[in-house]
Amino acid sequence: MKLSVLIGALAAAWIGLAAPAFAGPEVNTSTGVVLVDGKPAPGLAVHGFDVVAYFTEGKPVQGDATHATVYKEATYRFATQANLAAFKANPAKYEPAFGGYCAYGVSVNAKFDGDPRYWRIVDGKLYLNLDAGIQQAWLKDIPGAIRKAGVNWPKLASKLPSEIN
């Protein structure tokens, strides 16, 4: 095998490992080795941040691998056992809107990564955005963006970001 072909194959494999993984395209997940109870599990939802902490602490908190569960083909991590129990009791209350994809992106008919640092709880639902600039655009008309995203989501949910962006 030629060295250039081997280097190309290794580069492609490395890029594949570094790119986001999509657990059934409805949930935005990140790659990496993920274990739950010592067994391989799907990619991390919300980049491993604790979705319950947004509601209880009012800020993003990194989850811990010892407090994890799989829901909708994604691994959710929690900072505490109590937060894990709260999620298991009512996952629909805590899971992010639009599978953790950027709420503004969904409102403009796209699937962008949701960054756990750019978030807002609106009417009891967690919304993530891509970055500070996108969040500022989203904040200008939250009700309108949520309405548009709600209309767009059913046709975007089952598609990979590469199929629409």
Structural domain includes residue 7: no
**pTM score above 0.85:** no
* Same domain assignment for residues 103 and 76: no
Question: What phi and psi, each to the nearest 5 degrees, are found at residue 47?
Answer: 55, 30
Host domain of residue 154 = 96-159
CA distance 127 to 147: 13
Number of structural domains found in the chain: 2
Provide long-range contacts, Cβ within 8 A and 24+ apart, for 141-150. 144/107, 145/103, 145/104, 145/107, 146/97, 146/103, 146/107, 146/122, 148/106, 148/107, 148/108, 149/97, 149/98, 149/103, 149/104, 149/106, 149/107
* Same domain assignment for residues 27 and 88: yes
pLDDT in tens, the chain (165 residues): 443 433 333 333 333 333 344 345 789 888 666 778 878 888 999 999 999 999 999 999 999 999 999 999 999 999 999 999 999 999 999 999 999 999 999 999 999 999 999 999 999 999 999 999 999 999 999 999 999 999 999 999 999 898 987
C-beta atoms surrounding 159 within 10 Å: 14
* Same domain assignment for residues 146 and 119: yes
Structural domain includes residue 3: no
Q: What is the pLDDT of residue 33?
A: 67
